[in-house]
């Protein structure tokens, strides 16, 4: 559990078929129904993970016979036929909320003594509503470690049903547990919800699974459920892939401009978390729904406000996606997830902030204001929460040096998560539309030129500084004393100036290597680059260069967005403004530090807000913060990414 995992950026669009394990929610519901049924049931597509292993151990301790085939993900369950009795039994639910909250009412309906317990994490989670509901029905429950939580001793002698009122505003699992146990109650049970339930689709899922095993629940309006006394019947059931687990891979496609498909899910899925795909589509991703599959194609991601009350397990996934959006994303309706494995709102806000994301807690959710320029690597705490580990790993697909601490916590629901993610890493795409170019963009002072030159040497590839082309035009126009607001005159210079880019920069036969880096050129180049017609002239020259030389390392401010959007590796170098100013100050003569800082702020604003080809992070680009890194370390990591793409 203590393993720290470094997530390597993929450097390109992820694609393929994601092999998603079975739904935890369906597995544990079906397993319990099969255990209580008469006869033998066969479950296919079963999830084998820590949460379901807890339920497996529990039903065996109640007397079920299991035939397990982990290779084919199947189970044969010979149930106890409702004869639920036990003597001085102890059940360890590990960290499984479904196991504990489903078993608590079921065991209370049996006969005998049992203690139900779990991990420290599970002990910290609330059980008060369910405990009180069972006491109202006549159950005897004794909290052994403190009020309203595990461990709980149950002194069971069967239960009479009747009518019970319960709020589902904190967790739908309390209600699902009562539903699953209700057929064992004498006279059945009428459940009246006193509040609007959270995660209502999980209640619908419980109803569907129980129906499959012979128990029909009648719904009266939106808040009343009538469950008859009865006997579960054995059944065969195929478990769907887990929609919550699928969300991470659909998100990976969205943020890397990739294309990922999951088989076994469709619009007709019983799982409410399938709605996450609709959120991605609303943000701009392209979604294709098949009869029994879903495919997501990444695209530019906008912002918006989303109520995730009914599919809150995807809230952390959406928060990670929001870091790469083009405008703010607000997530609401999820205040109750503060009582999950951890305070998930506070945890995700804390960890996103470590990575440079502006995230704010709200009473019922969180607000994320993305600025991809500020994204940086960090060591991520997971709080022993599998969803924290899986969601924050998504940032590492595009941000170097994201470390996931205690990454083994994914075993709770998805033991193979990281290997499945690795299996979708992009491969080399030469021979299609891809170009063997490492496209390096970024603001002034981020280290583009230094890194690009060193990377070209490391990879034994040609280097081309596209910014030097625009600077050379600025120098040529300045030598002629032109007015830079005269866009037509500047365009004419771009057409006619004799510019040679190599070890030296030569403009109209005169060496301009030093001149293009002067303070005056620094001030003028943004105006040249903002000239739409100048760009129209120079971009084809840049593309021709790459074609003539068979690829290389190209730097600038729109290489990944405009010049080579299909580059083999797209990188956006960034750094803290103060550090960029210090770098530029060391290179510039005749300016104070404050002058350099002010000039960089001005250039950032001009470059990022210009109408034509503004400076922005290319979709899917690796975002590399060089603030506190040596050049050789940056180059080493980028070279590894490029080679990985080429060898893929």
The answer to whether residues 97 and 173 touch, using CB atoms and an 8 Å cutoff, is yes
Of 219, 293, 208, 223, the closest CA to residue 259 belongs to: 293
Centroid of chain to Cα 445: 30
Query: Residue 369 — φ and ψ, nearest 5°?
Result: -110, 100
Which 3-state string (H, E, C) describes 587-637?
HCCCCCHHHHHHHHHHHHHHHHHCCCCCCCCCCCCEEEECCCCCHHHHHHH
Query: Which residues on adjacent β-strands are paired with residue 552?
Result: 437
**In terms of DSSP bridges, do strands 510-511 and 435-441 run parallel, antiparallel, or are they unpaired?**
unpaired
**Rounded (10°) CA dihedral 630, 632, 638, 641:** -120
**Residue 288 CB burial class (10 angstroms; 0-12, 13-18, ≥19):** exposed
Separation between Cα atoms, residue 154 and residue 157, nearest integer Å: 10
**165: left (phi > 0), else alpha (psi -120 to 50), else beta?**
beta
Whole-number Cα distances in Å, 606 to 508, 577, 591 = 28, 15, 20
313 catalytic? Reply is yes
Sheet strand arrangement including 186-193 = 160-166, 186-193, 224-227, 218-220
Query: Residue 569 — φ and ψ, nearest 5°?
Result: -140, 125
Of 379, 254, 385, the closest CA to residue 329 belongs to: 254
Whole-number Cα distances in Å, 398 to 209, 238, 317, 373 = 39, 36, 15, 12
The answer to whether residues 624 and 443 touch, using CB atoms and an 8 Å cutoff, is no
Separation between Cα atoms, residue 561 and residue 177, nearest integer Å: 52
Separation between Cα atoms, residue 409 and residue 383, nearest integer Å: 9
Query: Which residues on adjacent β-strands are paired with residue 623?
Result: 572
Which of 50, 51, 273, 313 is labelled catalytic? 313
Q: For the packed helices 448-459 and 631-647, what is the interaxial angle rounded to 10 degrees?
A: 50
Of 126, 106, 104, the closest CA to residue 115 belongs to: 104
Separation between Cα atoms, residue 150 and residue 147, nearest integer Å: 8
Element containing residue 188 per DSSP (H, E): strand 186-193
* Helices marked H in 194-268: 200-212, 243-256
- Who contacts 630 (Cβ-Cβ below 8 Å, separation ≥6)? none
Instruction: Evaluate the CA torsion angle 234, 238, 243, 244 in order and state its sign.
Output: positive
Q: Annotated catalytic sites, by residue?
A: 313
């Amino acid at each position: 559990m203590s393993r720290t995992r470094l997530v390597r950026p993929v450097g390109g669009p992820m694609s393929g078929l994601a092999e998603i394990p079975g739904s935890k929610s369906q597995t544990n519901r079906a397993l319990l129904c099969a255990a209580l049924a008469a006869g033998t049931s066969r479950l296919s597509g079963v999830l084998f993970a820590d949460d379901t292993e807890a339920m497996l151990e529990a039903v065996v301790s109640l007397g079920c016979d299991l035939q397990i085939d982990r290779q084919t993900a199947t189970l044969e369950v010979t149930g106890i036929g409702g004869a639920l009795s036990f003597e001085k039994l102890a059940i360890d639910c590990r960290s499984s909320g479904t196991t504990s909250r489903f078993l608590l009412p079921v065991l209370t309906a049996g006969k005998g003594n049992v203690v139900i317990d779990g991990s420290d994490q599970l002990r910290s989670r609330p059980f008060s509503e369910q405990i009180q509901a069972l006491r109202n029905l006549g159950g005897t429950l004794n909290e052994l470690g403190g009020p309203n939580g595990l461990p709980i001793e149950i002194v069971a002698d069967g239960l009479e049903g009747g009518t019970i009122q319960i709020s589902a505003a904190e967790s739908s699992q309390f209600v699902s547990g009562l539903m699953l146990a209700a057929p064992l109650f004498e006279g059945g049970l009428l459940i009246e919800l006193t509040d609007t339930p959270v995660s209502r689709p999980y209640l619908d899922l419980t109803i569907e699974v129980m129906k499959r095993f012979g128990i029909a629940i009648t719904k009266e309006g939106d808040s009343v459920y009538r469950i008859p006394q009865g006997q579960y019947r054995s059944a065969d059931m195929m478990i769907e892939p887990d929609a919550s687990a699928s969300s991470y891979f659909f998100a990976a496609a969205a943020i890397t401009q990739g294309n990922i498909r999951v088989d076994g899910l469709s619009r007709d899925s019983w799982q409410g978390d399938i709605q996450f795909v609709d959120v991605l589509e609303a943000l701009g991703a392209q979604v294709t729904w098949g009869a029994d599959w879903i495919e997501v194609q990444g695209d530019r991601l906008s912002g918006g406000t989303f109520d995730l009350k009914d599919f809150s397990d995807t809230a952390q996934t959406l928060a990670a996606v929001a870091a790469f959006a083009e405008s703010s994303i607000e997530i609401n309706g999820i205040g109750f997830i503060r009582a999950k494995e951890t305070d998930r709102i506070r945890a995700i806000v804390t960890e996103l902030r470590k990575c440079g994301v502006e995230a704010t807690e709200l009473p019922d959710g969180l607000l994320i204001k993305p600025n991809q320029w500020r994204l940086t690597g960090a060591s991520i705490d997971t709080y022993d929460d599998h969803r924290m580990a899986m969601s924050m790993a998504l940032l590492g697909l595009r941000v170097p040096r994201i470390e996931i601490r205690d990454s083994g916590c994914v075993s709770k629901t998805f033991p193979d998560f990281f290997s499945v993610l690795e299996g979708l890493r992009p491969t080399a795409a030469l021979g299609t539309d891809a170009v063997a170019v490492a496209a390096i963009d970024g603001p002034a002072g981020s280290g583009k030129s230094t890194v690009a030159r060193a990377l070209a040497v490391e990879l034994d590839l040609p280097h081309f500084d596209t910014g030097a082309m625009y600077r050379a035009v600025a120098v040529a126009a300045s030598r002629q004393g032109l007015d830079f607001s005269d866009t037509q005159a500047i365009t004419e210079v771009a057409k006619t100036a004799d510019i040679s880019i190599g070890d030296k920069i030569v403009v109209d036969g005169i060496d301009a290597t030093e001149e293009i880096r002067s303070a005056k050129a620094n001030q003028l180049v943004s105006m040249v680059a903002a000239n739409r017609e100048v760009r129209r002239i120079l971009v084809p020259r840049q593309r021709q260069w790459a074609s003539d030389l068979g690829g290389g390392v190209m730097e600038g401010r729109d290489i990944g967005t405009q010049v080579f959007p299909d580059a083999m590796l797209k990188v956006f170098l960034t750094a803290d403004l103060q550090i960029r100013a210090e770098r530029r100050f060391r290179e510039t003569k005749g300016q104070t530090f404050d002058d350099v800082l002010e000039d960089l702020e001005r250039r950032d604003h001009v470059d990022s807000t210009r109408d034509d080809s503004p400076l922005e992070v290319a979709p899917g680009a690796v975002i590399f913060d060089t603030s506190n890194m040596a050049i050789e370390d940056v180059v080493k990591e980028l070279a590894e990414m490029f080679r990985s793409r080429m060898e893929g």
